[in-house]
Amino acid sequence: MPRVSAQPSIPVYQFRGYPVALDSDIAERFGTKRPFNQTIRRNIDRFSEDFAFQLTTAEWEDLKSQNVISSGHGGLRTAPWAFTEHGVVIAAQTYLETGEATGFLETLRTLSGE
């Protein structure tokens, strides 16, 4: 699971053959974590598996072993969600409905390699 990009905007990883951004990185870019994740959970039916998926235990352990995600107190307690380029668009659209998202174009550009 090598990091595909480390541009200042948002890190991009490779999972299941897709370049993806993690939910925490997208939320940070949008400037908030809890409201973003809550919005996504409430609207998870908008995402097909090729747009967004929760990492498996093995994928999550691989991330933690590479020190990408904290495994200590205060770290994630559940596996993160990964969003493809199209998943980021749907996530942004979903989150924009709350009127709180900013910076989504830069996130999208990072995933598309522009």
73-94 pLDDT, tens digit per residue, is: 345 667 889 999 999 888 888 8
What is the CA 28 to chain-centroid distance, rounded?
Answer: 10
Edge-to-edge strand ranges of the sheet holding 81-83: 3-5, 12-15, 18-22, 81-83, 52-54
pLDDT for 46 = 86
Positive or negative, the CA dihedral 2, 106, 41, 19 is: negative
pLDDT for 90 = 86
Positive or negative, the CA dihedral 38, 49, 15, 90 is: negative
Domains of the chain: 3-112 (3.10.260)
* Side chain identity at residue 26, one-letter code: I
pLDDT for 25 = 85
15-65 pLDDT, tens digit per residue, is: 999 999 998 888 887 777 667 778 888 888 888 888 999 999 999 888 888
| Res. 11: pLDDT tops 90 | no
| Res. 113: pLDDT tops 70 | no
Task: Report the interhelical angle of 85-96 vs 23-30 (nearest 10°).
Answer: 40
pLDDT for 33 = 65
pLDDT band at 8 (very low <50, low <70, confident <90, very high): very low
pLDDT for 50 = 87
Q: Which residue has the tokens 């097909």?
A: 48
Closest CA to 81 of 22, 30, 34: 22
